[in-house]
Amino acid sequence: LENSSYDMSTDPSFAALDGVHIRKFSMLPETVRGKGYQEFAMVDRWYDSERAPPPRFLKITGRYLASNVGDLLAECRRAATDTILIDQFPRGRMALTSIFSAGWRGYGRFLKGLYRDMDDSAGVWAEHVFYRALATQRNVRSFVREPDMQGVSGSTGGALENPRWKWAVKQAVRSLNRIA
């Protein structure tokens, strides 16, 4: 899904990706409401217009790369269709919206339309809205594998850095939490 002014159709890097289907959407005029509002309004428009919906999708914010995307996709394929895979943090009351996976029906049932509540200028981020919507749902769980993300932060413009040792520690803590 793409809503920037970048023309992906003329970029050979994207044309060479087998099995990739680009869906282009225009930005909404409510830019003051922020990135989350724009991003999830676009996902909803895709949801409403897709003629051949997938049973499940993995959403990764466009500025990011997940170097272990193969492991994450394998986990998505194994997940029940009604399970939402998203990392949640009760202490901060946040769910990481930069990467998550949802079944088509699960997205429509639990997440569709939530963009209307998002407003960065009022401090109501997508991560807070998703957390509130999913905190009491039983079919929500974290990824088994720690997503290994790199890219450019949309908030700060700085590089997202995930040194190997830090990723390994996060993965160990994730594994221990699952055991506990």
d(CA 56, CA 133): 19
Closest CA to 155 of 42, 88, 59, 61: 61
Q: Which pLDDT band, with edges at 50, 70 and 90, does 163 fall under?
A: low
Q: What is the pLDDT of residues 123-162, one digit of tens each?
A: 999 999 999 999 999 999 999 988 888 877 666 666 666 6
| Residue 156 burial by Cβ neighbours in a 10 Å radius (0-12, 13-18, 19+) | exposed
Q: Which pLDDT band, with edges at 50, 70 and 90, does 169 fall under?
A: low
Q: Are 128 and 94 in contact (CB under 8 A)?
A: yes
d(CA 91, CA 114): 21
Closest CA to 120 of 23, 47, 39: 39
pTM of the full predicted structure? Answer: 0.84
pLDDT at res. 42: 96
- Tokens 């999708």 correspond to 57
d(CA 39, CA 49): 16
**One-letter identity of residue 60:** I
Q: Which pLDDT band, with edges at 50, 70 and 90, does 165 fall under?
A: low
Q: What is the pLDDT of residues 39-88, one digit of tens each?
A: 999 999 999 999 999 999 999 987 788 889 999 999 999 999 889 999 99
Residue 119 β-bridge partners: 124
Q: What Å distances lie between residue 107 and 6, 82, 112, 180, CA to CA?
A: 27, 9, 6, 28
The two tokens of residue 39 are 């991003």
* Residues belonging to the chain: 180
Return the SS3 of 10: helix
pLDDT at res. 180: 63
